[in-house]
Chains A and B, each alone.
Chain A
């Protein structure tokens, strides 16, 4: 067992591509994000797809409001962020609850597994509760082979049953942070 092996498993299964395919199958046509290394591949796939409007945000709560506007206009949106951004969304989530607007966010976790940065730990630990206090249903994604099933179930609950859903992608599945240098 070593660090590289964990990372390789994730690469081999190409789980970001599986997320992308599942979101497409559920008619998602808007993606917004605050960048995260764990979401890098999905962000790239989204930007490369002319059928998806992809929006980079300055703060995560913008993506909650964007998702609401998309739904008012008949589109399905997904917000990508890291666990450190979840707290920024708390008040804006009242919009989704008050108007019963579908919401789906995919959250890459920090501060829970082999974390090297202590500053990530408080928000990482509080992430599920921060979502739940606002009425968001929290799913965990721990294994790449479960991606399609979990994302598909979340899409149905959100877009067909008007629920607010967060999928927390575990840090163990993401692998240890590797510094990404400029290409």
Chain B
């Protein structure tokens, strides 16, 4: 029997961020940044253009600093693999307002679609469970996304991890701003921190 078609990454992220409310979003470099930008520009988005492996930890520092806001890291399997130890760190810290969402196509998309460890059999959801994350969800269809979406806005019950199975293949690039100082100041201003 044929597998159901995997989710389009753009549609998946758009659905995830609909009615995002108070959500603060950190994106992993590459396609995840483009997906979140394409879903709607927002000063509460902080797009990474480098720092590979750091997205989840930026989310942790932010979630600890802003305990009354839900924080979501949206990244790819390759980016999360490079910072795989951060899942253990996040679990050990038991931060309740943080969710890590991995868009998993089993490939390193930015560099020519080489097969990633995830594509070679590693199970990020199992690793997240093994790291001790409180809540781990596997999502492979729009219903799964719709069921999960409200939990993104919770400021308790975390740390959560969701692996979204997305389709492989090229998607048109949508490029967010690249100036890190601009992105930083815009984000902090959104939180009411004066830019000096």
Contact = CB atoms under 8 A, between A and B. Distances in A.
Interface in B147-196: 180-181, 183-184, 187-188, 191, 193
Nearest to A76: B65
Interface stretch (B9-17, B82-90, B100-108, B119-127): B82-90
A182 B140 CA distance: 47
Nearest to A77: B61
Given A55-B89, A65-B61, A69-B61, A74 B53 contact: no
A66 B58 contact: yes
B52 interface: yes
Contact of A73 (B50, B61, B89, B92): B61
B65 A62 contact: no
Interface residues of A, number: 32
A150 interface: no
Given A56-B89, A62-B57, A75 B193 contact: no
B136 interface: no
B51 A92 contact: yes
Interface in B7-54: 24, 26, 46, 48-54
Contacts of A64: 54
A67 interface: yes
Contact of B86 (A62, A71, A100): A62
Interface string B109-130: 0000000000000000000000
Interface in B53-97: 53-66, 83, 85-86, 88-89, 92-93
Contacts of B24: 73
Interface of B: 24, 26, 46, 48-66, 83, 85-86, 88-89, 92-93, 180-181, 183-184, 187-188, 191, 193
